[in-house]
Structure 1
Amino acid sequence: MRELFHRKLERTALGFVFAIIAAASVGGIVEIAPLFTIDETVEDVPDMRLYTPLELAGRNIYVREGCYACHSQMIRTLRDDVERYGPYSLAVESKYDRPMLWGSKRTGPDLARIGGKYSDFWHVAHLTNPREVVPESNMPAYPWLARNELDLADLGLHLKAQQSLGVPYTDEMVENAARDAYGQASPDTDFASGVTERYGERTQVSTFDGVTTQVTEMDALVAYLQVLGRLTDAAYQGTAAEELPLDASN
């Protein structure tokens, strides 16, 4: 009976087209319908801050170099994940991520809470030659990041693009993007205070790569890694930090 039905359907062009449309519509509804309740799904927290221009540039480099192919940024609610990496990830923590970098493959460890775990110097050494820091690492080396000067001129356009996607960057932030990127990596300059004024006192201002003569791609990537898991403290204040599943199979 089922074979007869399929044979009849496949021989009727118009009926087959309608069947395809119906199947595709079901898939579309399943993906689109949750978007109508997105405001109820994603939490709102008062201490959430935006990526600075330097951190956003570092995120772009992270994507460019394909780091997301080996590192996820989403801690699951499994006991093993929580005990190894920290509180499980909340939707609000990536509400300003365009695109999302949750990932599923872990050739390397999850990086959702890597921020502040290691020093700037550790990250620079690790990115320059991973095996000097972690002998068993199979991660590629990225020494050129310390040599490549970061292009500051187009950072305002990057913020403008994020702004058009709903990330609440102000026009002042867009206008001062290049100055703020320079200031975040140059603590002893007059531009450093502007970064904390616009992005908050908790913003890390540092000579990330240890060199003050120029802002490099290494500065940007380390700045990004150091903020992962630190845009908000929401995960440490709720059930994510207090409750663990009974076992890793749940």
Structure 2
Amino acid sequence: MSLFGLHYRLERRAIGFVLAIIAVASIGGLVEIAPLFTIHQTVEDAPDMRLYTPLELAGRNIYIREGCYACHSQMIRTLRDEVDRYGPYSLAVESKYDHPMLWGSKRTGPDLARIGEKYSDEWHVKHLNNPRDVVPVSIMPAYGWLLKTELRTDDLSLHLRAQRTVGVPYTDDMIENAARDAYGQANPDSPQAESVSRRYGKETTLRAFDGRPTVLTEMDALVAYLQVLGRLTMAAQKPLADLGGRR
């Protein structure tokens, strides 16, 4: 009996057809669900993993709002040409605190998984303000208004609280001081700057990302986010033997 003949016979028997659908769907479900039972053995440990600061999280929200993920992926595959171009391939643990994750596969522009500190803040500001100023052949739209738009900070505590709800370990102290920490990170000479390092670690970058320390803009936030991509943990830079999880 041909495959089509079997299908036609199943279509004439409703109960058999339903059972066949359930059987086929169960196979797909098993393939997707089974690995979850061993996830703790397959995902690397990253003791040095740090959280997004309020300013970086605000920049990530702007990145999503402006649709940057539609043209830029944040996932370097294990292929040799990708590793040679972009750097070490992406590890699952690097997206541990990304809600939602932004791995993607569409690359109208280059992958940004390791863009952090590859270019200067000034380069990013110029590029976002008018991409053609630094990349003449770029087809990326300009985002000049980011430099002119003051960053909203009164709701940053709510954003951190929402992230904690889905598992990101922000403390009450971090949530309460979110607005002050955002200002302090972009104004390293302010009284608030020292508290940012205390709450988020000495590796936290403190500087005026848009070049104007007295004004906190959406440009500050987006550049701060771009400069931390690939730098929340150095797990991808370490030999596999040094990682706690199994590969």
Q: CA deviation at 1:239?
A: 4.7
**SS of corresponding position for 1:226:** helix
- Deviation above 6 Å: which 4+ runs of structure 1? none
Q: CA deviation at 1:214?
A: 2.4
Q: Deviations over 1:110-140 (max 9, x none)?
A: 1111101111111000000000000011111
**SS of corresponding position for 1:180:** helix
Q: CA deviation at 1:174?
A: 1.1
Contact 1:145/1:218 (CA < 8 Å) preserved in 2? yes
CA distance in 2, matches of 1:202, 1:45: 15
User: Which residue of structure 2 lines up, in the alignment, with residue 145 of structure 1?
Assistant: 146
Q: CA deviation at 1:221?
A: 0.4
Equivalence map 1:137-216=2 (5 Å):
137-216=138-217
Match for 1:218: what amino acid? M
Alignment partner of 1:79 is 2:64? no
Which residues of structure 2 form unaligned runs of 5+? Answer: 242-247
CA distance in 2, matches of 1:6, 1:124: 60
CA distance in 2, matches of 1:239, 1:126: 36
CA distance in 1, matches of 2:36, 2:102: 19
Match for 1:60: what amino acid? N
- Once structures 1 and 2 are overlaid, which stretch shifts more, 163-172 or 117-126? 163-172
Match for 1:31: what amino acid? E
**SS of corresponding position for 1:48:** coil
Q: Deviations over 1:133-179 (max 9, x none)?
A: 00011111100111121111111111111111111111111111111
Contact 1:42/1:95 (CA < 8 Å) preserved in 2? no
**SS of corresponding position for 2:168:** coil
CA distance in 1, matches of 2:5, 2:90: 49
Match for 2:140: what amino acid? M
Q: Deviations over 1:21-52 (max 9, x none)?
A: 22222222222222222222211122111111
CA distance in 1, matches of 2:173, 2:15: 56
CA distance in 2, matches of 1:82, 1:141: 29
Please, what TM-score do these two structures have when normalized by structure 2? 0.93
CA distance in 1, matches of 2:117, 2:234: 13
- Once structures 1 and 2 are overlaid, which stretch shifts more, 187-196 or 13-22? 13-22
User: Which residue of structure 1 lines up, in the alignment, with residue 106 of structure 2?
Assistant: 105
CA distance in 2, matches of 1:27, 1:157: 38
Please, what TM-score do these two structures have when normalized by structure 1? 0.92
Q: CA deviation at 1:14?
A: 2.3
Match for 1:36: what amino acid? F
User: Which residue of structure 2 lines up, in the alignment, with residue 44 of structure 1?
Assistant: 45
User: Which residue of structure 2 lines up, in the alignment, with residue 117 of structure 1?
Assistant: 118
CA distance in 2, matches of 1:25, 1:149: 51
CA distance in 2, matches of 1:39, 1:148: 43
CA distance in 1, matches of 2:39, 2:161: 23
User: Which residue of structure 2 lines up, in the alignment, with residue 244 of structure 1?
Assistant: none
